[in-house]
Structure 1
Amino acid sequence: MGYCGSSMLCGAPIFCPIGISAMATAVAWEKEPMDSNTLYYSLDLVSGSGHALNGEQRAALQTSLVLLKKNYKFNRVMFWGKILGIKEDYFIAQGKGHDELKDKQFLYSFNCMEWHLLPPADDAMVGEVSRAAKGRFMGDPSHEYTDYPLKREGDEATEAVELVKVTEERRLAVTVHLIDEEVSVVPRGAFNRTHLGLMNNNRCFEGLSHAEAGKLENFLHFAKPKKLKKKLIQEQADLDPSIDFLDPLSDDVPKGQWSLQLENASSVCVLRSLLWMGLTFYHVPMTPQHGYVYFGYGCKNLDLPFML
């Protein structure tokens, strides 16, 4: 799923009641979020969205994430989420390198044990997938989507448009990339930027206050900023360059595409995306715990403007 503390989350099979034991919470704070050590804890905090993994899947993930980190020499490996297919479902993991924002790779699995690297998504691949791939995921990486172009008849000759074919593995890579670029979330201050330009976990981050957690502007897109440089000089005057280098969710257009609620007797702040329905983010105020996970069909909600 996404991040916990500074890692990723996912939906949970066990509902977490109002209280979380002090011992369990203390243990989770000492570990990296949404990795093998804090997987159960993180999943429980997003269980209110109704997403779940069964006991076998969670046990398999807890073991395989450790092996992934060792075999691929990642700094951290987190469970990112699950994309539902017709035949099979794709479980997604994310590996992190030295730079939390730039050094990341995605892997997929059908059984939470055997993992395969997804190819990096570029603009050309995104264009091909947007043309050819439609409907639900099949659950077969070799399945091929084909875009049959229409021929346009001119005055003198018939112009043929190039035929586009895309495998479902490439579609999966693009879908995961777009979801992560457009709706991955972190609290303000959870990451800082070093003098070398690297983005790292902010070890001094102790969480947002309850008042701050209720404001959308205190949550940021965990992706390369697109709107920050367009802000007026007066608007940038109050920003801290070491932590305010990402776009806040409050700048998203159209407005209203995020649902923010306080759950479990206001002990957990939960954000849900209406653009990519199935993305759930959580943050425990006054603690460094945060994370996100995606459980859905991998289809963008194109009807969003008509819902608001």
Structure 2
Amino acid sequence: MDSNFLYYSLELVAGSGSVLTIEQRAALQTSLVILKKNYKLKRVLFWGKILGLKKDYFIAQGRGEDEMKDRNNLYSFNCMDWFLLPPATDSMIEKVSKATKGRFVGDPSYVYEQMVHSGDEAVEEASVTVATKVSEEKRLAVTIHHIDEEVTVVPRGAFIKNPHGLVQINRSFGGLSDSEARKLDNFMHLSEPKNAKRKSIHEMGEYSPAIDFLDVLSDDIPKGSWSLQFECASKVCVLRSLLWLGLTFYHMPMTPQHGYIYIGDGMKNLNLPFML
């Protein structure tokens, strides 16, 4: 959620338990402004919080000229001092998927290890053990990358792709209507599209390449991985992900106000297909 509307946005998602203390809000309000200036960012979002056994990671995300490609993730333990996370590379993602499991510890220097046995385990001399090591800082970067790829949400029309291919905020976006906000077809992932055929093209009866370049939530697999409700006297549309429990998105129909926050343990709900 945009740091300029942090207090306002947090109130709208409080029904999901996504709350911060008064001290944390005050610290974020100050530090995110300084962060934006120091890193020369176009926009700064408070991304959320990943819960650890010892400490929690507060996450901020800086956006550049391209809202999808120009992203920098930072973490903090006190909402004041921020540390830049490395970008999630393919090799890093592979190592993290092999070596990490369980809850986050809350220590970026903590090292996860995976022991791999090669050779004939029946013969002790032929068995060789190889360790795959990865730090929790890298695991944090990869987890944020996965959540951004799979469950970030924006209303249809909130972002446009300009003639140069840059994805930017649509300044003329006035919000979805009340009836539009009740359909998953009108909400999209702000990530690289994976579906060649998108429902918004043929179900809505209108297609604009400038805004219909993203995947719609109704195409997500498994079906039923989103909960859509109206809260605050039916004035606010709230979407919750059942795949990444803790991801909450809000949008006020007929206004450009929208945003999302993740507060959870950073673990994907792999049992979802069996729960639906």
Deviation for aligned residue 1:230: 4.6
Displacement of 1:159 in angstroms is: 7.2
Which of residues 255, 266, 277 in structure 1 aligns to 2:234? 266
Is 1:248 the counterpart of 2:222? The answer is no
How many Å apart are 1:161 and its aligned residue?
7.0
Alignment-mate amino acid for residue 91 of structure 1: F
Partner AA of 1:83 in structure 2: I
Query: In structure 2, what is the equivalent of residue 147 of structure 1?
Result: 114
Distance 2:22 2:94 in 1: 38
Q: 1:217 pairs with 180, 185, 205, which one? A: 185
CA–CA distance in 1 between the matches of 2:88 and 2:127?
30
What is the alpha-carbon distance in structure 2 between the residues aligned to residue 284 and residue 152 of structure 1? 60
2:185–2:216 CA contact under 8 A, matched in 1: yes
- Which has a greater percent of strand? 2
Change (3 A) 1:151 1:49: same
- SS where residue 174 of structure 1 aligns? helix
Q: CA deviation at 1:155?
A: 11
> Counterpart amino acid of 2:78?
N
Match of 1:105 among 72, 77, 101: 72
Task: Determine the structure 2 residue equivalent to 1:22.
Answer: none
Aligned to 1:51: 18
CA distance in 1: counterparts of 2:98 and 2:13, whole angstroms: 34
| SS in structure 2 at match of 1:150 | strand
Change (3 A) 1:307 1:155: closer
For residues 139 and 261 of structure 1, the distance between their equivalents in structure 2, rounded to whole angstroms, comes to 33
C-alpha distance in structure 2 between counterparts of 1:277 and 1:161, whole Å:
36
Aligned length: 273
Query: What is the letter of the counterpart of residue 252 of structure 1?
Result: D
Aligned to 2:249: 281
Q: Report the AA paired with residue 307 of structure 1.
A: M
CA deviation profile, 1:143-191 (whole Å, cap 9, x unmatched): 0000011334299995757421000000000001111111000000000
C-alpha deviation, 1:275, in angstroms: 0.4
Q: Would you say 1:176 and 2:113 are equivalent positions?
A: no
Structure 1: where are the runs of 5+ without partners?
Answer: 1-7, 9-33
Q: Map Cα deviations across residues 48-107 of structure 1 (whole Å, 9 max, x no partner).
A: 101210000000000000000010010111100000001000000000100111101100
Matched residue, 2:133: 165
SS of 1:66's equivalent in the other structure is: helix
Whole-angstrom distance in 2 between the partners of 1:260 and 1:221: 15
1:74 aligns with 2:41: yes
What corresponds to 2:100 in structure 1?
133
Which residue of 1 is the match for residue 194 of structure 2? 226
Residues 192-219 of structure 1: CA distance to partner in whole angstroms, max 9, x if unpaired?
1100000111111000000000000100
User: Post-superposition shift, 1:123?
Assistant: 1.3
CA, structure 1 residues 61+154, in 2 after alignment: closer, same or farther (shift >3 Å)? closer
Q: Secondary structure of 2:146's match?
A: helix
1:253-285 CA distances to partner (integer Å, 9 max, x unpaired)? 110000000111110000000000000000000
- Change over 3 Å in CA distance of 1:97–1:194 after alignment to 2: same
Matches for 1:190-209 after TM superposition, within 5 Å: 190-209=158-177
Q: How far did 1:238 drift?
A: 3.8
Contact 2:198 2:219 in 1 (8 A): no
- Looking at structure 2, the residues matched to 266 and 231 of structure 1 have their Cα atoms a distance apart, in angstroms, of 28
**Aligned equivalents of 1:258, 1:78: Cα separation in 2:** 23
* Structure having greater relative contact order (Cα 8 Å, sep ≥ 6): 1
CA distance in 1, matches of 2:81, 2:198: 45
